[in-house]
Amino acid sequence: MVKHATEKTGLMAAKKGVEIEMYSAGTGTRERRQDDDDDDDAPVLFGYESLDKDMIPAQQEFLELSSMALQLSLRQMVRQVMTITDAAFQGHIGTKQLAGVTIASVYMGVPSTFIQNAIPAISTLCSQAYGAGNNTLVGIWLQTCIVFSVVGAIPIIIWYMFVGHMIALTLDDTEAVAYGQQFAMIMALGLIPQYLYGCLTTYFATQGVIMPATLCSTLTVVLNIVFNQLFIYGGFGYDGLGFIGSPIATVTSTCLQLLIFVAYTVWYKQYHLAYWGGWTMECVSKERLMVFLPLAVPMGMSSVVDWASAACTTAFSGYLGPDIAACQAVLNGVFGVVNAFVSGFSTSTQIRMSRYLGQGSAVAAKRVLSIGASIVAVCGVTMVLLVYLLNESLFRVWSPDPVIIAMCRSALVVFVCCIMVAFGRFMMTACLNALSMANINLIANNIGSWCLYVPLSYVLPITLQWGLDGFWYADMCGEAMKAVILTWGILRVDWNAAADFAQRAAEVTETRNPMQEEQRELLAYETEALLTPTMFKSPGAQFGSVPHHTPSVLKRALSLTPKAMRRQKDANV
């Protein structure tokens, strides 16, 4: 029996006789039922030998998972240090400066995150072209992404010019508003270099060239510290520019980051030559855009939805004055540091689970989930204890103001509780991404953010006058709701059906080498970890709804590619 199948990401506990479907680039595929197992005419998947009886030892699994997580976490820390540098210098200038920049950063992040999170779409498309041996197409996808980023940056730059008016809607302090406006206008100059760097690092990562980006980003962190010190406070007979020197330092660092990376990879090493056929109008042809946009836009919009909730709650903090906004910057900065250490284990668990499911081994996938969850729990508790014990020293990194430090310490208990709930949610999100069940993540994120987190961020701190504690109680409630929904989704999974689905997805995408696919995902996430983030991000906005580099995304990209669709049709004939 033949039918046109559509992608099913819900792999819930299958009853007897219930079919497991997946799509094959819009072509006809045959249904396979559980009670058809003895049917000789049933389609046979290209086979991996089952790993259920031949799994690697648990100790080796732990070491490989930890090695992968360490690579990801180190790159997250490089990115986070860049954020810490800016916030720390601004906080030491003054509380109003930190408050204005914090609120401005969230408003700036809403549109900017759309482009930043749409760029990884070319990771999938370039990998697909690279694997098919179509080297010229790899360069064309880079051109498409560059055009998309530059054109998209124009309205975002205009948006930055009016950020001060948005801050003034909820924050009465005119000085803090002015600082936020100045910060946004200068940071607009660094948007296009930031996007171009993201495009190029993603492009080269698909070719396995990632170390230059790591070294370049590390060097940029050092330069950013030097420039902040020099531009704010002066030196060598130069008086410095004060507050305005901080965003100038960041923009200068961003531009130099792009220049150094291009000088090394393009001018010196010429890594691009084999994958570059010159500029061509094909990059903006209908055929290319009809593949790129349906993949990139959902990624970008998912992040916008996540950021919009953070923007709403930050706007509410403005009603309570600059001190609360500054405290939010400090606490979210601490969270960013802690999360950088732990998040690598969630992502590496997702990558390893995807590999084992693609090999048809539900047992191995569940085991790596248990190992990863245990590591995250231990690391999470350790980091939370360190934060609790060293809180004053950590808070002083962002602000020397004793009032701000005292306010942050008063919210410490609910803050660390929120972190632990968030870490559990991140692990469950990673698990469902590996299971190709991002739809459950989307539902959980929207319900948790918009039905609990955002409303409670107004009711608890403002209406009930809980102050700073209220924002973190609201965040914790939102994270807890997401965790409940995700737990429900995981408990209903039929793991054997999930493994069958993943094998079929691997067949469609021609992913016959699990180690290569695992390496592709790892490189993609390492590259994304190095992209410059916006300054302020709460737990509620972390681990977005739509995963960027899973096999399901690769499968979807293949279904959007006309040539790939024709190959599938020919194969089925």
Any domain includes 254 = yes
H-helix segments, 169-262: 174-187, 191-205, 211-233, 245-262
> Which residue from 417, 408, 449, 430 is spatially nearest to 541, judged by alpha carbons?
449
- Domain total in the chain: 1
Q: Determine contact, residues 360/497, Cβ cutoff 8 Å.
A: no
Q: Report DSSP state, residue 541.
A: G
C-alpha to C-alpha distance for 439 and 441, rounded to whole angstroms? 5
Query: Tens digit of pLDDT per residue, the chain (573 long)?
Result: 433 333 333 344 443 333 333 323 333 333 333 444 444 444 444 444 455 566 888 899 999 999 988 888 888 888 888 888 888 999 999 999 999 999 999 999 899 999 998 998 888 888 888 878 889 999 999 999 999 999 999 999 999 999 999 999 989 999 999 999 999 999 999 999 999 999 999 999 888 888 898 899 889 999 999 999 999 998 887 888 999 999 999 999 999 999 999 999 999 999 999 999 999 999 999 999 999 999 898 888 888 888 888 889 988 998 999 999 999 999 999 998 898 888 889 999 999 998 888 888 899 999 999 999 999 999 999 999 999 999 999 999 999 999 999 999 999 999 999 999 999 999 999 999 888 888 898 899 899 999 999 999 999 999 999 999 999 999 999 999 999 999 999 999 999 898 888 777 666 555 556 677 777 777 777 777 766 555 445 565 555 555 555 555 555 555 555 544 444 444 444
Residue 272 lies in a domain: yes
Q: What DSSP string describes 151-178?
A: HHHHHHHHHHHTHHHHHHTT---HHHHH
In-domain check, residue 247: yes
User: Phi first, then psi: what are they for 493, rounded to 5°?
Assistant: -75, 135
Q: 128 is written with which tokens?
A: 């697909």
**40 within domain boundaries:** no
Domain annotation covers residue 107: yes
184 by DSSP, 3-state: which?
helix
Is the residue at 170 inside a domain?
Answer: yes
Give CA–CA dist 78/220, Å, rounded. Answer: 9
Q: How many residues does the chain have?
A: 573
Q: Is residue 47 part of a domain?
A: no
Question: What angle (nearest 5°) sits at the alpha carbon of residue 13, between those of residues 8 and 19?
Answer: 50
Closest CA to 143 of 314, 275, 328: 275
Domain that includes residue 125, residue range:
58-532+539-562
- Would you say residue 77 lies in a domain? yes
